[in-house]
């Protein structure tokens, strides 16, 4: 998958309450959730983000609750990919399960600023900062996760397994 968009950078330990506060969890509609995505970190974010844009986080991105509403809100906002130094593990699983590509790459996090244009090849893990011309190699996605992605997410994977 080839992705391209503008980067929005956030810090370390961006937790699920920041990604989508619990006060909005009485729905699981991605469009509705997207309206409040990241608003406790940057109130203007839902209005500024454009389809294809890329979130760049620091360490432990997505820590906190198991709410799948967090990757759903990000995906619903049109974000095509999240790059971070490390991800919290439940968020990591959830993102793959719902089909939001995420990549761990500390070098890319250092080399990308908010506003840079970034291109990502999820298959090879290559991340390019089109603004600066720098290129980074992300940790490859484990083969098992690739299988889930290739099936079209976990549900499709299970359906195939059961039929």
In the complex, which residues of this chain contact other proteins (CB under 8 A)?
13, 15, 17-18, 21-23, 25-28, 40-41, 59-60, 63-69, 71, 86, 88-90, 93-94, 97-98, 142, 144, 153-155, 157-159, 161-163
Query: Which is closer to other proteins, CB of 43 or CB of 115?
Result: 43
Radius of gyration of the chain (CA): 15
Query: Which is closer to other proteins, CB of 83 or CB of 118?
Result: 83
Q: How many CB atoms lie within 10 A of CB 152?
A: 12
Least Å distance between CB 79 and other proteins?
17
Least Å distance between CB 114 and other proteins?
20
Structure tokens at 87: 């991800």
Least Å distance between CB 144 and other proteins?
5
Report helix, strand or coil for 54: strand
Write the DSSP assignment of 19-45 as a string of letters: HS-GGGTT---HHHHHTTTTTTT-TTH
Query: Which is closer to other proteins, CB of 93 or CB of 128?
Result: 93
Least Å distance between CB 44 and other proteins?
14
Report helix, strand or coil for 2: strand
Query: Which is closer to other proteins, CB of 55 or CB of 118?
Result: 55
Alpha helix stretches (DSSP H) within 9-48 = 16-19, 30-34, 45-48
Least Å distance between CB 77 and other proteins?
18
The sign one gets for the Cα dihedral 80, 86, 90, 92 is: positive
Within 8 A by CB and 6+ apart from 140, the residues are 125
Query: Which is closer to other proteins, CB of 48 or CB of 89?
Result: 89
């Amino acid at each position: 998958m080839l992705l391209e968009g503008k980067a929005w950078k956030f810090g370390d330990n961006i937790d699920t309450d920041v990604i989508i506060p619990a006060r909005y969890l009485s729905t699981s509609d991605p469009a509705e959730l997207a309206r409040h995505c990241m608003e406790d970190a940057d109130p203007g974010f839902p209005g500024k983000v454009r389809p294809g844009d890329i979130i760049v986080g620091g360490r432990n991105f997505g820590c906190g609750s198991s709410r799948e509403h967090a990757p759903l809100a990000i995906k619903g906002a049109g974000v095509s990919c999240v790059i971070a130094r490390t991800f919290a593990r439940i968020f990591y699983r959830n993102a793959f399960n719902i089909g939001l590509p995420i990549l761990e790459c500390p070098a890319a996090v250092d080399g990308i600023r908010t506003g840079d244009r970034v291109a990502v090849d999820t298959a090879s893990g290559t991340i390019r900062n089109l603004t600066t011309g720098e290129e980074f190699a992300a940790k490859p996605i484990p083969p098992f996760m690739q299988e889930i992605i290739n099936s079209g997410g976990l549900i499709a994977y299970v359906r195939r397994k059961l039929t």
